[in-house]
Amino acid sequence: MIKRPAKTSDFTPNDYRPACYRWLIWSIIIVYVFCFNCKKNRELLRLNTPKPRIISFAPSITETIYALGAQEHLVGVTDFCTYPPEAVQLPRVGGYINPNYEQILSLKPDITILLKEHGSLIAFLEQHKIGVVKIDNENLAGIFSSISRIGAACGLKERGDSLAAGIESAMKMTTVSLSRKPKILFCVGRDKPGSGTIGKVFLAGPRTFYSELIMRLGGENAVSDSVFAYPSVAGEGIIHLVPDIIIDVMASNKLMDPSKVSADWNELGMLPAVKLGAVYAITGNYISIPGPRIVKIFNDLHRCINDWNVRITLGSACLRFK
């Protein structure tokens, strides 16, 4: 006997249970995997937005973004980002020690670019699923790398790589011919400048980009064995360093008279740099910012060393650095 196919009416709801359960289970798995991956990769997705909203947490980062022509992405900067002048008009998010968390969230950034030292801030940003790009610009390699990374974060990787390569190339093109290698004391800050005395000074140590710039120009850092990036030294300690050149920078005090700053060092008249008149005061906020304007710092150093070289060659102390 041939068995006829059952009619549709012969099936009961229970006949669909296995198939329904399988579809339900697979649906749950798909939704779980999708949600898990979205949560896990949310930072990546936000980083890859075509026009990311960016907050910069350091002057060097802000300057780099402007140098790349990517300022349209900036929605917030720190209280200390003052260059270029247009940056002053952007919303402020506080500083290194006092970030304004409420303001940061209100700006709805896709990406924040900051220094690796921003520990607690990084934790806050990651907690709120905001993209974080950390840079390290303590040395020259880090500065060049940070420019490239910032370019990539702005969707301009090739432009970032080109800017970094151009800055490095400009430094390599500068040549020096010295009678001997000078010992250079690079002072990044000190007590009461312009007061006629030298108190505690803060110097660029051997692990700083200043030291690397000095070596690129044929000089030697007078501070050669410090474990600190910027050690503090008093007058007696400076005497033992016996510098041939003293470079005293006033990054945050552009109104200070450079001649008064230089005159303070006459208190240590026994130093070779003071005897020769090779004490140079430099003002300008760029001097403390490891960004694209590092070329200006490099050129300032070059002029100082060249002036010293002329003095030591001629045995004259009548020349003045301008």
Query: Can you give the residue range of the structural domain that contains 99?
Result: 54-172
For 26: left if phi > 0, alpha if psi spans -120 to 50, otherwise beta; the answer is alpha
Q: What is the pLDDT of residue 252?
A: 66
Here the contacts of 106-109 (C-beta below 8 Å, separation 24 or greater) are: 107/53, 107/55, 107/75, 107/76, 108/53, 108/75, 109/52, 109/53, 109/54, 109/55, 109/75, 109/76
**Interacting residues of 83 by C-beta distance below 8 A, sequence separation 6+:** 59, 62, 63, 285, 286, 289, 293
**4 in a structural domain:** no
> What backbone torsions phi and psi does residue 221 show, to the nearest 5 degrees?
-70, 125
- Ranges of beta strands (E only) in the chain are 54-56, 74-76, 111-115, 131-135, 183-190, 201-203, 220-221, 232-233, 245-250, 279-283
**Residues 288, 191 share a domain:** yes
Of 76, 115, 80, which is closest to residue 95 (Cα–Cα)? 80
Phi then psi dihedrals of residue 145, to 5 deg: -65, -40
Residue 19 lies in a domain: no
* pLDDT tens-digit readout, 43-102: 333 445 567 999 999 999 999 999 999 999 999 999 999 999 999 999 999 998 999 999
Predicted confidence (pLDDT) per residue in 117-147, tens digit = 888 899 999 999 999 999 999 999 999 999 9
Q: Is position 282 within any domain?
A: yes
Q: Which of 83-87, 179-183, 233-237 has the lowest mean pLDDT?
A: 233-237
Q: pTM of the entire structure?
A: 0.80
Q: In angstroms, rounded to a whole number, what is the distance separating the alpha carbons of residues 300 and 293? A: 11
* Shared domain check, 278 and 219: yes
Same domain? For 168 and 232 the reply is no
Indicate the residue among 155, 172, 189 that finishes a domain: 172
Q: Quick one: 208 and 81 in the same domain?
A: no
Closest CA to 301 of 317, 290, 287, 313: 287
Q: Percent of the chain having pLDDT more than 90?
A: 66
Q: Which of 141, 172, 203 is the last residue of a domain?
A: 172
Does some domain include residue 7?
Answer: no
User: What's the number of domains the chain is made of?
Assistant: 2
- As a whole number of angstroms, the distance between CA 282 and CA 317 comes to 19
Question: Given pLDDT bands bounded at 50, 70 and 90, which one contains residue 1?
Answer: very low
Cis preceding-peptide flag for 206 (omega within 30 of 0) = no
Residue 44 resides in a domain: no
Would you call 306 exposed, middle or buried from its count of C-beta atoms within 10 A (0-12, 13-18, 19+)?
Answer: middle
Question: What mean pLDDT comes out for the span 245-257?
Answer: 80
In a domain, 213, yes or no: yes
Residue 31 lies in a domain: no
Residue 192 maps to a domain:
yes
- CATH number, domain at 123? 3.40.50.1980
Do residues 108 and 216 share a domain?
A: no
Regarding whether 286 and 185 lie in a shared domain, the answer is yes
Strands 201-203 and 183-190: antiparallel
Among 172, 207, 232, residue at a domain's last position: 172
